[in-house]
Amino acid sequence: MVAVGCGYGDCHQILLLRRLSMGCILKLDEDLDNRVTIGAVLLAAGSGSRMGHRPKSLLELGGVPLIRRQLIALSGAGVDEVVVVLGHYADRIEEAVKEFPVTLVRNPNPDAGQVSSLRLGLQALSSKLDAVLVALADQPLINSQDINDLIGAYKKRPQDTHVVQPSVDGQPGNPVIFSNEVREQILLGEANVGCRQWQSANASQVHPWVSTNSRYRTDVDTLEDIAALAARTGHQLKWPADLMITA
């Protein structure tokens, strides 16, 4: 499995992001009449309990923290607005993303679960959006082309569907993208209603977008996942020096 882009050690994309704000990158051949205004919620509030209680989003690939890689991918895909939801380790993660043009939201009770963080992120987005993309900060290989492909699938989704989720080998992947109407319905629901619960209740409005791209299914939840990723792809994730655990 090989990621598409400039290379994991290449800092060109980071320099690019410093010059550009979210959403200002448009392909020259893009049909502007078909453009949708997209906001993204990037979830990074977890405790990392299966990683020795360390923030997964600060794992580094090619010296770049995963959360920064996600922000670079979202910007490169032309996403208009990004909300990053923090919780555990908020001060430490905020330091890693402070120069990015994003809205930072802190979940005061991150142990309440991912749904609580998602709802905070959805609330923080502006109202004038066509669609919302929900991304996870622990997906190490997602790049801007992957985001662009997902957005393209959303634009071409079947009529009367409102959610597009990658489906790889019959298994659901991430990120997920849905209409602003779905966002509004989620927020009108009970506190325990998130995207997954909405999809379960409205299965006919969900389009499983079939893809062979395994990056949509690749995340890291455990130390074993880090080792498996290295064995499968050659990409080695490393902790920053202050988060390394020595025997």
- Which of 143, 220, 204 lies closest to 175, judged by CA? 143
The DSSP string of 51-62 is: GTS--GGG-EET
Q: How many Cβ atoms from other residues are within 10 Å of residue 8's Cβ?
A: 17
**How many other C-beta atoms can be found within 10 angstroms of the C-beta atom of residue 146?**
23
The residue whose two tokens read 């019959």 is 170
**What pLDDT sits at residue 232?**
96
What pLDDT is recorded for position 27?
42
pLDDT of residue 6: 39
CA separation for the pair 46, 156 (Å, rounded)? 33
* Cα separation, 158 vs 164, whole angstroms: 10
Q: What is the pLDDT of residue 30?
A: 47
Q: What is the predicted pLDDT for the residue at 246? A: 62
- Assigned token pair, 92: 């430490």
Q: What are the mean pLDDT values of the chain's consecutive 10-residue runs (247 residues total)? A: 36 41 45 79 97 97 98 97 98 96 97 96 96 98 98 97 98 98 96 95 98 98 97 97 80
Contact 41, 125 (CB under 8 A): yes
Q: Where are the alpha helices (DSSP H) in 20-171?
A: 66-76, 90-97, 114-124, 144-155
